[in-house]
Amino acid sequence: MALSWDAWLTLAVVGMVFVALVRRIGPPDAVILGGGVMLALAGVIKPEDAFSGFVNPGVLTVAALFVVAAAMRETGALDGITARLLGSARTDRGAMLRMAAPVTCMSAFLNNTPIVAMLLPVLSDWCRKNHISPSRLLIPLSYMAILGGTCTYIGTSTNLVVNGMMIEAARTSPELAEPLKALGLFELSAVGVPFAVVGVLYLLFAGRRLLPDRKDLLEQLGESRREYFVDMRIEPGCRLAGQNVAQAGLRHLPGLFLVEIVRDDHAIAPVGPNEIMKEDDVLTFTGVVSTIVDLERIPGLVPVADAGYETRPPERRSTTLCEAVISGSSPVAGKSIRAADFRAAYNAAVIAVHRGGERLRGRVGDIVLRHGDTLLLQAGSHFARAHRNNPDFYLVSAVEEARPVRHDKTILSLGLLAGLVVLLTTQAVPTVVAAYLVAGLMVATRCISSAVARQSVDWRTLITLGAAFGLGKALDKSGCAAALAGTLVQHAGGWGPYAVLAITYIVTSILTEIMTNRAAVVLMFPIALAIAAALGVNPRTFVMATTFAAAATFVTPLGYQTNLMVYGPGGYRYTDFVRVGLPLELALTALAVFLIPLAWPF
């Protein structure tokens, strides 16, 4: 099939968007929105097509569910579950077994990001007390949350967006009204529940053997260890000035290593026990949070992570330490701590940085941040509460934090959530109406304040979703999707619909791993419809293939946000996800190709 000029232009723009997303040239929301605007300017699509995603019911429902999930967090409705989650478990397998059902069930009805955020400190504390490495449990936590999200159509934003696209396609094409009717709440369970069962069994047996076990860190500390890189300056009057390293006791703190001393722009390394320290020396350490807290208690020894810190030392009594993971959409990624001006942007100082198993070098302020880095922040006592929904990073835990919880609203919030499930199950009202009704009741009954509700909405996710619809429209209207589908069917159609379905699933999975699940599914949706049309089969079958492929991604930490959240705290390396996730993804691919045609026949 010869491509028209519009199709070639669309292919070029989508290609540029793809490259920009893979190379992370800019934030995904800006990149995708820019691609849609370019195609609208070129006349490939109308302006209303470019921005139609922002009024799509699926995207609007995602916004409401952000508020519902935040309300559950504000009322502590899930805290009791997480507190009793591990019970009497004493082994990593026992912990995995006990958390499997609660995590997957909660993720089926709530956004999995806050669930993972709540459970990270719970699991980390349990690991410390039981001398088990967090690397044994945090990848399973992320994977179980992902698997739970495939069980219902409100389990992930990906499912909701697909449902919105199906409704839109059925509205504009009468012949698709029946095959692309709206999803039922538990319609995806026919494949999602087997996904969850197979995934959990894999993690309990084969996957457990592939998980890393960083015992060396635990043996040094007697606790779970994340080794941070931190600079400390000896201020005038500090007792360390004039002492040697051994006298100061800096060689006997657990989990601490003095990397070098910088004096007058000259680095002294390695540092011997008899090295005399002087005022204005900058000591570079690698150590864990508890050790860094010990260092901060030494009067006159202060962190120098960012510009101006030493001239404006915060009052210790009004500050707390927080650990946060750089998110996939954070604007500080790719910048040094100093260049990002972290203090001005977030009113917090970066004290230290942890990056997997890598030992960082150079000045802390000069470290170029990456997605998945864990930061140790010193900030005001309300920092964690104010920024817990900030999409720039995921708060993992507050080292010293006590935040108020609306416990008197716990039962009410659980009742409202149950009401939402009933409304969605019975289809008494449209999904988007039900979601906003319950979100509004959460605010009206003070389960969550209106200010926190607004903050809980991840606007970057919504912009990414809404903007991606424009690219999907362009692929469809330009004929590009039909041409790509025709090429695939021409070369693989002779192998039968099962082979083409498998290829569609695999291509979506690959795009998801290197882009984002939301962008991948929106780009693949029109192609899936075109493939089904070329084969003359049920389009719902191929739409479901793209849905499950985009919602279940395990091979890289960048493919899904919960993978990124556990990347730093678990001390993982990129290869850990490949080793544990690839067999699971291959098994689920085979299972999907077998089950999807049974649930939604060709």
pLDDT at 196 over 60: yes
* CA–CA gap between residue 125 and residue 34 (Å, rounded): 43
* CA–CA gap between residue 444 and residue 16 (Å, rounded): 45
Rounded to whole angstroms, the maximal C-alpha distance in the chain is 84
Domain assignment of residue 532, yes or no? yes
Domain assignment of residue 517, yes or no? yes
Q: Among 20-29, 412-421, 450-459, which range has the highest average pLDDT?
A: 412-421
pLDDT at 400 over 70: no
Domain boundary among 354, 377, 398: 398
Q: What is the DSSP string of 4-40?
A: PHHHHHHHHHHHHHHHHHHTT-S-HHHHHHHHHHHHH
Whether residue 322 contacts residue 397, with contact meaning beta carbons closer than 8 Å, is answered with yes
* CA–CA gap between residue 588 and residue 194 (Å, rounded): 9
Element (H, E) at 81: helix 79-83
Element (H, E) at 301: strand 301-303
Whether residue 527 contacts residue 569, with contact meaning beta carbons closer than 8 Å, is answered with no
Domain boundary among 355, 378, 398: 398
> How many Cβ atoms from other residues are within 10 Å of residue 270's Cβ?
8
pLDDT at 401 over 70: no
Domain assignment of residue 289, yes or no? yes
Kindly report, residue by residue over 221-274, the tens digit of the pLDDT.
Answer: 344 456 787 888 898 888 889 998 888 878 766 667 888 898 888 888 888 888
Cα dihedral angle (597, 148, 62, 563), rounded to 10 degrees? -110
Instruction: Say which residue, 515 or 350, is predicted with more confidence.
Output: 350
Statement to judge: residues 173 and 234 lie in one domain: no
Domain assignment of residue 541, yes or no? yes
Statement to judge: residues 577 and 513 lie in one domain: yes
Whether residue 539 contacts residue 579, with contact meaning beta carbons closer than 8 Å, is answered with no
Statement to judge: residues 304 and 187 lie in one domain: no
Statement to judge: residues 187 and 121 lie in one domain: yes
Residue range 5-26: mean pLDDT, rounded: 80
3-class state of residue 250 by DSSP: coil
Statement to judge: residues 195 and 241 lie in one domain: no
Q: What is the DSSP string of 393-460?
A: EEEEEETT------GGGHHHHHHHHHHHHHHHHHTSS-HHHHHHHHHHHHHHTTSS-HHHHHHHS-HH
Confidence of residue 219 (pLDDT cuts 50, 70, 90): very low
How many Cα neighbours within 13 Å face the side chain of 526? 22
Statement to judge: residues 194 and 253 lie in one domain: no
Element (H, E) at 375: strand 374-380
Statement to judge: residues 365 and 314 lie in one domain: yes
* CA–CA gap between residue 490 and residue 577 (Å, rounded): 35
Q: Quick one: how many helices (H) and strands (E) in the chain?
A: 26, 9
Is the preceding omega at residue 270 within 30 degrees of 0, hence cis?
yes
* CA–CA gap between residue 284 and residue 232 (Å, rounded): 6
Identify which of 82, 76, 88 has the alpha carbon closest to the alpha carbon of residue 102.
82
Whether residue 572 contacts residue 135, with contact meaning beta carbons closer than 8 Å, is answered with yes
Instruction: Say which residue, 365 or 454, is predicted with more confidence.
Output: 454
Reading the block at residue 312, the tokens are: 């404006």
Kindly report, residue by residue over 111-170, the tens digit of the pLDDT.
Answer: 777 778 767 767 876 777 677 888 899 999 999 999 999 999 888 888 888 888 898 888
Give the residue numbers spanning the domain of 554: 52-215+453-599
pLDDT, position 288: 74
Instruction: Say which residue, 581 or 299, is predicted with more confidence.
Output: 581
**Residues counted in the chain:** 602
Confidence of residue 308 (pLDDT cuts 50, 70, 90): very low
Reading the block at residue 306, the tokens are: 């960012």
Residue 234 β-bridge partners: 301
Statement to judge: residues 190 and 239 lie in one domain: no
Contacts 24+ apart (CB under 8 A), 204-209: 204/93, 204/96, 204/97, 204/100, 206/583, 207/140, 207/143, 207/580, 207/583, 207/584, 208/92, 208/93, 208/96, 208/136, 208/140
pLDDT, position 399: 53
CA torsion sign for 405, 409, 411, 415 is negative
pLDDT, position 316: 42
Whether residue 22 contacts residue 514, with contact meaning beta carbons closer than 8 Å, is answered with yes
Distances (CA, A) of 599 to 136, 187, 268, 538, 585: 35, 9, 67, 12, 20
Statement to judge: residues 85 and 184 lie in one domain: yes
Statement to judge: residues 232 and 209 lie in one domain: no
3-class state of residue 572 by DSSP: coil
pLDDT, position 312: 38
> How many Cβ atoms from other residues are within 10 Å of residue 239's Cβ?
12
pLDDT at 307 over 50: no
Domain total of the chain = 2
Domain assignment of residue 436, yes or no? no
Q: What is the 3-state secondary structure (H, E, C) of 319-339?
A: EEEEEEEECCCCCCCCCEHHH
Domain assignment of residue 90, yes or no? yes
Q: Among 44-48, 338-342, 439-443, which range has the highest average pLDDT?
A: 439-443
Instruction: Say which residue, 144 or 365, is predicted with more confidence.
Output: 144
Mean pLDDT of the chain: 81
Share above pLDDT 70 across residues of the chain, in percent, rounded to a whole number: 86
Q: Which of 301-310, 361-370, 459-468 has the lowest mean pLDDT?
A: 301-310
Statement to judge: residues 192 and 272 lie in one domain: no
Share above pLDDT 90 across residues of the chain, in percent, rounded to a whole number: 20
Statement to judge: residues 365 and 466 lie in one domain: no
Angle at 583 between CA 117 and CA 504, to 5 degrees: 90
Q: What is the DSSP string of 197-249?
A: HHHHHHHHTHHHHHS---HHHHHHHSS----EEEEEEE-TT-TTTT-BTTTTT
pLDDT, position 220: 41
* CA–CA gap between residue 285 and residue 290 (Å, rounded): 13
Confidence of residue 546 (pLDDT cuts 50, 70, 90): very high
Confidence of residue 583 (pLDDT cuts 50, 70, 90): very high
CATH number at residue 323: 3.30.70.1450
How many Cα neighbours within 13 Å face the side chain of 539? 24
Domain assignment of residue 556, yes or no? yes
Angle at 182 between CA 162 and CA 599, to 5 degrees: 85
* CA–CA gap between residue 115 and residue 566 (Å, rounded): 12
Domain assignment of residue 26, yes or no? no
Q: What is the 3-state secondary structure (H, E, C) of 89-118?
A: CCCHHHHHHHHHHHHHHHHHHCCHHHHHHH
pLDDT, position 144: 96
Kindly report, residue by residue over 486-522, the tens digit of the pLDDT.
Answer: 777 777 767 888 999 999 999 889 888 766 777 788 8
Distances (CA, A) of 547 to 158, 308, 335, 354, 501: 7, 48, 34, 34, 12
pLDDT, position 379: 78
* CA–CA gap between residue 549 and residue 520 (Å, rounded): 9
Residue 397 β-bridge partners: 323
Whether residue 370 contacts residue 245, with contact meaning beta carbons closer than 8 Å, is answered with no
* CA–CA gap between residue 288 and residue 277 (Å, rounded): 22
pLDDT at 357 over 90: no
* CA–CA gap between residue 205 and residue 202 (Å, rounded): 5
Confidence of residue 211 (pLDDT cuts 50, 70, 90): very high
How many Cα neighbours within 13 Å face the side chain of 490? 7
Domain boundary among 364, 398, 432: 398
